[in-house]
Amino acid sequence: MLTGMTSVSRVIPMNEGSARLGRDVSVGPLVGTVLALTEYIAHMVRGTPLLLPSLLPGMLILYILYWLITGLVTAVILAALRATPLRGALPERTQAALLAAAAVALTGHAVLVTHFLIDLRRPWTILLFGAALFATVPLFLLFRKVIPPSHRARPALFTLLPVLIIAVSLPLQLVPERRGGDPSPRSGTTSAGPNIFLFVFDTLRFDHTGTYGYCRATTPAIDSLARTSVVFDRAYASSSWTLPSTASLLTSRYPSNHGVQERADALSERVETLPEILRHAGYHTGLFSGNPFVEPNFGFGKGFDTIHATTRPMYLRLFYLPLYLQRTYARLGFFSGDSDRWVVRYESFWRPALKKEWIEGDELERELFRWIDGE
C-alpha cells in the first residue's frame, strides 16, 4: 500500500492559454469605452460649452488605446502568475476586477488634482498618486465580488462593442466648429459713426510702457498714440487672466455675471456683446486674434462678420485621461517627457482647425489691414 502526499499538476494547452490571454486583454478596451462615454456624458449633463461633438471619436480611441495597453500589461502579468502555484487564487474575473479598480482609482485621482487640489506640488503629488494606487486594493476586492464569474462568456462582444461605438461616432467629425462669422442678419444700413478699434495686449504690465513712465522705449507706437489720446491713470481689470477679462471687456459684466470663470467655460449665447450691438447698428465687425483663448469656441465669435483666430487644444482641459498624463506624470521626478505635446499632436489629427496655427505676428497684421482696406 502506497501512502504519502500526492500532487496533481495541470498543464494549460497553448491554445487555451492564448484564448484566455485574449479574453483578458479584451477587458481593457471595454473599460476605456465605458470611461470615455461616462466622462463625455458627464460633461454634456454639466453643460460644458467646449464639448465639441468632433472630440468624441478621438477621445474614444485615446481612452481605448490607453486601457488596451493597461489591459495587455495586466493580462501578461496574470498569465505569468497562472503558471505558478498562485493560479488557484486567480479566478476568471480577476483581470476585469483589477482593471476596473485601477480605472476608478486613477480617474478619481485625476479629478482631485484637476478640480480640487490644483496647486498641489511634490512631494504631495507623489504621495497622492501612491494613495490612488493603494486604493486599487480595496476596490479590486470589491469588484471581484461584484463582477459575476461568467462575465466573459462572450469575449468577442467586448472587442466588437468598442469598435462599433467608434464607428457610430465617426460622423461627428463632420460637425463643424464655430469658426465662421456671425450668421445672423445684420442691419441693412451702414453706420455713419466713427471707426472703433479695440486693441487688447495680453499680460502687458502697464508700468512697463513709456506712457506710464517706464524708462526704456518698450512701446513707442502706444506712446505715440497716447500723446494724442485720453489716457486713464486708474483702470482695473475684472480678473487676473485672459478668458474672464476678455468676456468682461466685450459684455460690460463681471465674471460672476457672464459666467466665464474657469478654463473650460465659454461665453453664453444669451449674453449680448459689444460686437453684436455695433453690428446691429450697421458696423462691419472683425475679430483678429493670435490668443488661443480669444476665439469662437470660447464664445467670442458672436457679432463678428469676419474672424481670423487661432484654436486651442481641448483634450488637455476637458478630459481626465490627458489631464492625468499632464498633472501626474509631468510632476513626478522620474518623468521628464512632455505629455502635453503628444496629446496636442494627437488632437490635431482629429481636429483640422487645430492645425491652423498660422496666425502669428506679421501675418495676422496683414490679414487685419487686408480686411480694413476691403471695408
Pick the residue with more confidence: 141 or 263? 141
Place of cell 492564448: 18
Predicted pLDDT at 224? 93
Top mean pLDDT of 23-27, 170-174, 222-226, 292-296 is at 222-226
123: left (phi over 0), alpha (psi -120 to 50) or beta: alpha
170 and 183 in a common domain = no
Domain assignment present for residue 279? The answer is yes
243-257 mean pLDDT: 92
Place of cell 485574449: 22
Confidence of residue 48 (pLDDT cuts 50, 70, 90): confident
Angle among Cα 79, 83, 85 to the nearest 5 degrees reads 125
In this prediction, residue 233 carries a pLDDT of 87
User: Where do the H-state alpha helices sit in the chain?
Assistant: 14-46, 55-82, 94-111, 124-146, 155-169, 220-226, 242-251, 255-258, 274-280, 315-318, 320-327, 339-350, 361-374
How many domains does one find in the chain? 2
The backbone torsions φ and ψ at residue 114, rounded to the nearest 5 degrees and listed phi first, read -90, -40
223 class by beta-carbon count within 10 Å (0-12 exposed, 13-18 middle, 19+ buried): middle
Which of 22-31, 62-71, 180-189, 316-325 shows the lowest mean pLDDT across its residues?
A: 180-189
pLDDT band at 23 (very low <50, low <70, confident <90, very high): low
Of residues 318 and 149, which shows the higher confidence score?
Answer: 318
> Are 82 and 190 in a shared domain?
no
Last residue of a domain, one of 174, 196, 217: 174
> In what helix (H) or strand (E) does residue 288 lie, and over which residues does it extend?
strand 286-289
Residue 170 shares a structural domain with residue 40: yes
Tell me the percentage of the chain whose pLDDT exceeds 90. 11
Residue 35 and residue 68 share a domain: yes
Regarding whether 140 and 81 lie in a shared domain, the answer is yes
| Contacts of 137-142 spanning 24+ positions with Cβ under 8 A | 137/101, 139/100, 139/101, 139/104, 139/105, 140/97, 140/98, 140/101, 142/101
How confident is the model at residue 359, as a pLDDT?
A: 46
- The pLDDT tens digits of the residues spanning 321-368 come to 887 666 656 655 555 556 677 788 888 888 877 766 544 556 778 888
Peptide bond into 123 cis (omega under 30): yes
In a domain, 111, yes or no: yes
Residue 273: which pLDDT band, with cuts at 50, 70 and 90? very high
Q: Are residues 35 and 164 in the same domain?
A: yes
Long-range CB pairs of 3-9, under 8 A, 24+ apart, other chains included: none
Q: Would you say residue 290 lies in a domain?
A: yes
- Which of 368, 176, 217 is closest to 289 using CA atoms? 368
C-alpha span between 90 and 79 (Å, rounded): 10
Q: Which of 264, 287, 310 is the last residue of a domain?
A: 310
Within-domain flag for 343:
no
Q: What is the pLDDT of residue 18?
A: 63
Residue 143 phi, psi dihedral angles, 5° rounding? -65, -30
Query: What is the pLDDT at residue 246?
Result: 92
State how far the Cα of 215 lies from the Cα of 306, in Å rounded to an integer: 39
Q: Are residues 215 and 245 in the same domain?
A: yes
Q: Alpha carbon of 224 to those of 211, 221, 301, 303, 312: distances in Å? A: 9, 5, 31, 30, 34
Residues 183 and 166 placed together within one structural domain of the fold? no
- Residue 163 has which C-alpha cell? 469598435
Cα 91 → chain centroid: 37
86 within some domain: yes
Asked if pLDDT for residue 235 goes beyond 90, the answer is: no
pLDDT tens-digit series, residues 287-312: 988 888 888 888 888 889 888 887 77
pLDDT reading at 2 higher than 70: no
CB 29 within 8 A of CB 71: yes
183 and 245 assigned to the same domain:
yes
- Other CB atoms within a 10 A radius of the CB of residue 351 amount to 21
For residues 71-83, give the mean pLDDT.
74
- 127 and 149 share a domain? yes
What is the mean predicted confidence (pLDDT) over 201-220?
A: 88
Indicate whether 66 pLDDT > 70: yes
Check whether residue 203 and residue 224 sit in a common domain.
Answer: yes
Domain that holds residue 258: 178-230+237-310
275 confidence band (pLDDT: 50, 70, 90): very high
Range among 86-100, 135-149, 269-283, 329-343 with highest mean pLDDT value: 269-283
| Beta-carbon contacts of residue 195 (< 8 Å; ≥ 6 apart) | none
Q: Is the pLDDT of residue 195 over 80?
A: yes
164/192 same-domain check: no
Q: What is the reported pLDDT for 97?
A: 79
Among 174, 198, 217, where does a domain finish? 174
> Residue 4's pLDDT band (boundaries 50, 70, 90)?
very low
Residue 81, in any domain of the structure: yes
Q: Exposed (0-12), middle (13-18) or buried (19+): which is 298, by Cβ within 10 Å?
A: buried
In whole angstroms, give the CA distance from residue 234 to residue 91: 71
pLDDT (tens digit per residue) in 150-173: 544 456 666 788 888 999 999 988
- Within a domain: residue 42? yes
Distance, CA of 93 to CA of 85 (rounded, Å): 18
Q: Is 29 contained in some domain? A: yes
Across the range 109-129, mean pLDDT stands at 75
pLDDT at residue 257 is higher than 50: yes
Q: What are phi and psi of 317, to 5 degrees?
A: -110, -20
